[in-house]
Amino acid sequence: MREKILAVMEKNSRIDIKDLAALLGESEVAVANEIAEMEKENIICGYHTLINWDNTSEEKVVALIEVKVTPQRGMGFDKLAERIYQYSEVTAVYLMSGAFDFTVIIEGKTMRQVAQFVSDKLAPLESVLSTATHFVLKKYKDHGTVLCDQIQDERMLITP
C-alpha cells in the first residue's frame, strides 16, 4: 500500500484522504495511519507547491552550481554538504558521480546575487577546489509538470 500512496501523492499531494482511500480500495483510517507513519519515518519529508515563477511579477534566478571538493578526513562528503545546505539561498544539494562532487541548486533575485553567493560563501569554503555556475534560463518541465504552453500543430488536416 505504501508504494501506491507515494505514487499518487507524488503527483498530487493535496489529494483528499477520502479520495485516496477510495482510489486504493483501502479504508480512510488505514491510509491516514500509513501516511502518518511515513511522515514519522521521514519517507514523506514535506508537501510543496510547484510555482511557475515566470508567470508572476516576482524576479527569481535559479542556478545549478557544480562543485569539486576534497572530502574531509573521517567525514567524507557529509560534513561539507551540511555546511552548504545551511545557507538560506540553497534549495538543494546532491552528491554526484562524474566530473564534480556536488550539484548545488540556489535561488536569488538577480544573477549578481547568485554570483556573489558563489564568490563570497561557496568558493571560499575549505575543501572546495572549483565551482561552475549554470543559470536556468527557462523551465519547460519541473517535478513532472509541464510549465510552458505546449506547441500546437497549426497545420490543417486534409483528407481525400
State pLDDT tens for residues 61-70.
Answer: 999 999 999 9
- Per the CB < 8 A criterion, the answer to whether 119 and 89 are in contact is no
Please, which pLDDT band fits residue 84 given cuts at 50, 70 and 90? very high
- Per the CB < 8 A criterion, the answer to whether 102 and 77 are in contact is yes
**pLDDT of the residue at 49:** 82
Distance from C-alpha of 18 to C-alpha of 23, rounded to nearest angstrom: 9
Distance, first Cα to last Cα, the chain: 52
pLDDT at 85 over 80: yes
Place of cell 507515494: 6
- Give the predicted TM-score (pTM) of the model: 0.79
pLDDT at 30 over 90: yes
β-strand pairing of 145-146 with 90-95: unpaired
**pLDDT of the residue at 11:** 85
**pLDDT of the residue at 77:** 92
Percent of the chain at pLDDT above 70? Answer: 96
**Quick one: average pLDDT of 13-33?**
93
Fold of domain 53-138: Alpha-Beta Plaits (3.30.70)
